[in-house]
Amino acid sequence: MPLALHGGTPVRTEPLPTSLDSSGRILGRAEQEAVERVIASGVLWRVTGTEVAALETEFAALLGTAHAVASTSGTSALHLAVAAVNPEPGDEVIVPPVTDFGTVIAVLACNAVPVFADVDPVTGCLTPESVAAKITSRTRAVIAVHLFGGPAPIGELVELCRPRGITVIEDCAQAYLTVPHGGTGYAGTRGDIGCFSLQQTKHITAGDGGLTVTDDPELARRMRLFADKGWPRDTGERTHLFLGLNYRMTELVGAVARVQLTRLGEIVAARRAVAARLTKELDGLAGLRLPSPEEISRHSFWLYPILLDPELVGTDNADFGAALLAEGIPASAGYLDRPVYLTPAMAERRTYGISGFPIDGRHYAKGDCPVAEDMIERTLVVLQCNERYSDQDVDDIITAVRRVHAHFAHFAHLAG
Ligand SMILES: *Cc1c(COP(=O)(O)O)cnc(C)c1O
């Protein structure tokens, strides 16, 4: 069967369920009723409302943390975290280069310097070794991203950072109910602060929204004040204790998020089941590395990552991903077009006016994180994963991956 890329019939012409619309979201009557309840109450902001406060209580209880603070996005959730650390301008925060720009925005918006450490070639997450090599006297925090829902080595990072007074922030925007190695508890509860997103494409959504969790009452209070103009409403004073923003989540968002939270367990379980079938059926294709059953039990599958060995597969991730897309299977080669440090915002220091502050004098350049670059340019392919995939949907993905693999492996064999 010729590839769709070469004029063959695509495996799939009907679009797969997607998180971009109702086909791949679980949003029902309960969410509609939640919105109606808020509208009928006439209280649409959190200051005199009950929904966002209840969401914070319920999310903290679900994760087993002492505090949760709601905000307007995953990016703001991260901004709350870095702001709570309160770095001096020019202090450094270590981040991975394979992530959403939101991770880095939080650092720049605090006038701190993002320092990129390289990643593990399988997980795409920071390694303790690469982080250790980047620590300086100005390092104030590390933001570990649990990429695609797979766990970063958070225990080892905490061991490295805590004795040095460096705060560990977990970016869990892709990682609800992810289970890191060692110890107990979900991602977001192992470091000092955990940050989550309710944006349209995440496991659960209210359009946009953010949640930041911590066990530390002082960090929690700083975050709460930072999201509300530095205004200590709990004391009754009309004053501003420090520079904050208005990142208040609305009651409409809070009410929807509360319902979504009740669906989270079912959503993550469904995604793990999809991943388990993909791994079972695709296992053994030469040159493809898939999440193992042990990894699947810890992962929450925002995306399903495949690593390919270009020599064995006969092509790199770009061709493999393009061939899958042509078969009607949503896939991305490399996840990003380039590591975050090579985006114009970073490489050309487009920050505040033409000052380049706070990264003036820093040079972000190709070669900074070779493992991350190799993943993006050669080895990583990510498949969409969705809780609404039917057995037939998963069958089609399996058929397409096998067809594309067979095609390239055949020609690699002839050439070899
Ligand atoms: C989505 C995402 C963010 C940002 O969240 P928004 O809600 O889109 O602002 C940050 N980090 C990671 C890893 C993400 O996937």
- pLDDT tens digits for 308-335? 999 999 999 999 999 999 999 999 999 9
- The pLDDT value recorded for residue 397 is 98
Task: With residue 381 as reference, give the H or E element that holds it.
Answer: strand 380-384
State whether the beta carbon of 103 lies less than 6 angstroms from ligand 1: yes
Contact 224, 245 (CB under 8 A): no
Mutation test residue for ligand 1: of 20, 73, 75, 201, the one with most atoms within 8 Å of CB? 75
Cβ within 8 Å of residue 199, ≥6 positions away: 73, 74, 173, 205, 207, 208, 209
Separation of CA 7 and ligand 1 centre (Å): 37
Q: How many CB atoms lie within 10 A of CB 368?
A: 18
Separation of CA 274 and ligand 1 centre (Å): 23
Reference 76, options 217, 202, 224, 214; nearest CA is 224
For 199, which DSSP code? B
Cβ within 8 Å of residue 262, ≥6 positions away: 30
The domains located in the chain, with CATH, are 29-260 (3.40.640.10), 264-415 (3.90.1150.10)
Q: Give strand ranges (E) for 161-302.
A: 167-171, 193-197, 210-214, 288-289
Separation of CA 6 and ligand 1 centre (Å): 36
State whether the beta carbon of 199 lies less than 6 angstroms from ligand 1: yes
Pick the atom of ligand 1 nearest to 76's CA.
Answer: 9
CA dist., res. 11 & res. 327, Å (int)? 5
Q: What average pLDDT does this structure show over 176-187?
A: 96
- Which pLDDT tens digit goes with each residue over 256-286? 999 999 999 999 999 999 999 999 999 999 9
- Which pLDDT tens digit goes with each residue over 82-118? 999 999 999 999 999 999 999 999 999 999 999 999 9
237-273: b (≥16 Cβ within 10 Å) or e: eeeeeeebbebbbbbbbbbbbbbbbebbeebbebbbe
CA dist., res. 56 & res. 48, Å (int)? 15
Task: With residue 395 as reference, give the H or E element that holds it.
Answer: helix 391-415
State whether the beta carbon of 73 lies less than 6 angstroms from ligand 1: yes
Separation of CA 148 and ligand 1 centre (Å): 11
- The pLDDT value recorded for residue 137 is 98
For 234, which DSSP code? G
- Which pLDDT tens digit goes with each residue over 56-69? 999 999 999 999 99
Contact 228, 248 (CB under 8 A): yes
Q: Which amino acid appears at position 153 of this protein?
A: P
Pick the atom of ligand 1 nearest to 209's CA.
Answer: 7
State whether the beta carbon of 254 lies less than 6 angstroms from ligand 1: no
State whether the beta carbon of 19 lies less than 6 angstroms from ligand 1: no
State whether the beta carbon of 99 lies less than 6 angstroms from ligand 1: yes
pTM above 0.95, yes or no: yes
In the three-class reduction of DSSP (H, G, I as helix; E, B as strand; rest coil), residue 329 is classed as coil
In the three-class reduction of DSSP (H, G, I as helix; E, B as strand; rest coil), residue 167 is classed as strand
Locate tokens 């057995």: which residue? 391
State whether the beta carbon of 72 lies less than 6 angstroms from ligand 1: no
Separation of CA 205 and ligand 1 centre (Å): 12
State whether the beta carbon of 100 lies less than 6 angstroms from ligand 1: yes
Give me the catalytic one of 202, 229, 280, 366.
Answer: 202
Q: Whose CA is nearest to atom 10 of ligand 1?
A: 102
Reference 335, options 150, 124, 172; nearest CA is 124
Contact 16, 324 (CB under 8 A): no
- The pLDDT value recorded for residue 246 is 98
Separation of CA 202 and ligand 1 centre (Å): 8
Is 202 a catalytic site residue? yes
Structure tokens at 16: 């797969």
**φ/ψ (deg, to 5) at 356:** 75, -5
Locate tokens 């991975």: which residue? 96
The mean predicted confidence, pLDDT, of the chain is: 97
- The pLDDT value recorded for residue 416 is 57
Q: Whose CA is nearest to atom 7 of ligand 1?
A: 74
